[in-house]
C-alpha cells in the first residue's frame, strides 16, 4: 500500500507541471490553438492517468500476487506440515502397532510351539523311560524289571515256591509301572498292584506280603514267570472239593494226599504259627523249623498267612471282583480245625486282608 501512494503523488506532480506548461504556451503563442493544446494536454493527462492506473494496477496486482504467493506458501507449508505430521504419526503408529502385534504373535507362536514340543517330547521320553505302557511279559525282559530270587520244591508234576512270597520279592514287582497287560481277564477293574499298608510292610521285607487281593497275587506270579497255584498241568483248580487230587497246593501240603497236616497226621500246636502258638502276627517266611512239609523243604503250609489259590467260582450274576476265590492253610489267628491241609475259606476276588498272602507254583 505505501508503493501505490508514492505513485499517486508522482502522477499528481507531473500533472501540475503539465498544466503550468500549457498556460505558458497559451500566453506566448495562440496560433497553435487552445483546442490543440488542450487536446495534447488532455492526451498527456490521460496517458499519465493511464500510467497511474497501470502503475496502481500493477502495484496492486503485485501486492495481491505477493499476498497470494505468501498465502499459497503458508497453505503449502501448513499442508506439508500437516501431511508430514499425519504421515509420520500414522506411519509410526501403524508400524509400532504392527511391529508390536507381530512380535506378540511371534512370541505367542514360539511359546506355544515350544511348550507343545517340550511337553510332547517330555511325555514321550517319560513313557519310554518308565515303561508306563511297557511290561506285557515276565521279569527280566525289557520294561519288566528285575526277577526275584526264590526257591522252589518239586512235586508230582508241578513245582511250588518253598515259602510264602515275601515283601522284598513283591517290592521288585512294584518297581515296574502298572500295566494293564499284566492283568488277568477277570481283573479289568484294577488300577494298581500296591497292597494296603505298603509303607508299613516295607519296614520288614522278610515277612510274607499281605493285604493283597486275588488279582495282585495272580499278576505277580505271572510276572515272575510262574502262576498262582491251581490245577496240576495248568489252569484253575476246581472250586469244590478243595482236596481234589489235581490241586497243586493240596498235593504239596498233604504230600500227595498222605498226611493231614504238613508235618504229619497229628496236630502240633507249636509247630506252625496258628492261634495256639500265641504269636498273634505273621513271622518271617521259612523261619519256623517245625513247620515243614508235606514235601521236603516246603515251609509254612499251615498258619502264618492264608494263601490265595487259583480256584474261583463263576457265578454269571456276580461281578468279577465279587466272585468268590479260595484261600488255603489258615493264618496266625486260625484255630486248630482250620489249619489242616484240606481246609479252605472263600473270599471275594477283590478283598484284601492283613492275614492273607500267597505263594506261586510252576
Give the residues of the chain that fall short of pLDDT 70.
Answer: 1-133
Q: Which tens digits make up the pLDDT trace of 220-267?
A: 999 999 999 999 999 999 988 877 899 999 999 999 999 999 999 999
Determine the Cα angle at 64 with ends 61 and 69, to 5°: 120
Query: Is position 6 within any domain?
Result: no
Query: Is position 2 within any domain?
Result: no
Phi and psi at residue 85, to the nearest 5°: -60, -50
Query: Is position 296 within any domain?
Result: yes
pTM: 0.65
Residues in the chain: 362
Query: Is position 79 within any domain?
Result: no
Query: Is position 42 within any domain?
Result: no
Which range marks the domain in which residue 276 is found? 151-362
Please report the pLDDT score of residue 8 as a whole number.
58
Number of domains comprising the chain: 1
DSSP 351: -
Please report the pLDDT score of residue 242 as a whole number.
78
Please report the pLDDT score of residue 173 as a whole number.
98
Q: Is the distance from CB of 122 to CB of 116 less than 8 angstroms?
A: no
Query: Is position 127 within any domain?
Result: no
Q: Which candidate, 44, 60, 45, places its Cα nearest to that of 7? A: 60
Query: Is position 195 within any domain?
Result: yes
Greatest extent of the chain over all pairs of C-alpha atoms, in Å: 192
Q: Which three cell numbers stand for residue 315?
A: 457265578
Query: Is position 120 within any domain?
Result: no
CATH number at residue 355: 3.90.1580.10
Amino acid at each position: 500500500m505505501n508503493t501505490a501512494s508514492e505513485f499517486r503523488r508522482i502522477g499528481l506532480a507531473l500533472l501540475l507541471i503539465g498544466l503550468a506548461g500549457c498556460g505558458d504556451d497559451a500566453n506566448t503563442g495562440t496560433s497553435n490553438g487552445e483546442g490543440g493544446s488542450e487536446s495534447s494536454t488532455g492526451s498527456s493527462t490521460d496517458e499519465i492517468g493511464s500510467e497511474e492506473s497501470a502503475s496502481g494496477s500493477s502495484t496492486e496486482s503485485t501486492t495481491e500476487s505477493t499476498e497470494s504467493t505468501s498465502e499459497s506458501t503458508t497453505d503449502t507449508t501448513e499442508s506439508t506440515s500437516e501431511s508430514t505430521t499425519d504421515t509420520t504419526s500414522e506411519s509410526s503408529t501403524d508400524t509400532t502397532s504392527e511391529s508390536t502385534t507381530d512380535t506378540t504373535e511371534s512370541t505367542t507362536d514360539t511359546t506355544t510351539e515350544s511348550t507343545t514340543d517340550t511337553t510332547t517330547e517330555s511325555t514321550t521320553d517319560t513313557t519310554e523311560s518308565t515303561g508306563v505302557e511297557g511290561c506285557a511279559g515276565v521279569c527280566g525282559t525289557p520294561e519288566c524289571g528285575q526277577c526275584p530270587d526264590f526257591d522252589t520244591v518239586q512235586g508230582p508234576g508241578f513245582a511250588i515256591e518253598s515259602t510264602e512270597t515275601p515283601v522284598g520279592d513283591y517290592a521288585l514287582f512294584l518297581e515296574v509301572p502298572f500295566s494293564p497287560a499284566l492283568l488277568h481277564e477277570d481283573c479289568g477293574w484294577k488300577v494298581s498292584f500296591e497292597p494296603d499298608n505298603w509303607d508299613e510292610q516295607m519296614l520288614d521285607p522278610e515277612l510274607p506280603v499281605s493285604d493283597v487281593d486275588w488279582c495282585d497275587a495272580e499278576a505277580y506270579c505271572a510276572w515272575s514267570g510262574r502262576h498262582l497255584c491251581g490245577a496240576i498241568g495248568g489252569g484253575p483248580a476246581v472250586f469244590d472239593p478243595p482236596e481234589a487230587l489235581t490241586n497243586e497246593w493240596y498235593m504239596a501240603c498233604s504230600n500227595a494226599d498222605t498226611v493231614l497236616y504238613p508235618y504229619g497226621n497229628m496236630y502240633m500246636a507249636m509247630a506252625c504259627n496258628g492261634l495256639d502258638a500265641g504269636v498273634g502276627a505273621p513271622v518271617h517266611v521259612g523261619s519256623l523249623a517245625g513247620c515243614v512239609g508235606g514235601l521236603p523243604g516246603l515251609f509254612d503250609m499251615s498258619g502264618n498267612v492264608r494263601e490265595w489259590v487259583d480256584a474261583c467260582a463263576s457265578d454269571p450274576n456276580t461281578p468279577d471282583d465279587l466272585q468268590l476265590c479260595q484261600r488255603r492253610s489258615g493264618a496266625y489267628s486260625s484255630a486248630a480245625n482250620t489249619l489242616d491241609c484240606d481246609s479252605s475259606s472263600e473270599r471275594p476276588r477283590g478283598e484284601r486282608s492283613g492275614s492273607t498272602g500267597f505263594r506261586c507254583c510252576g
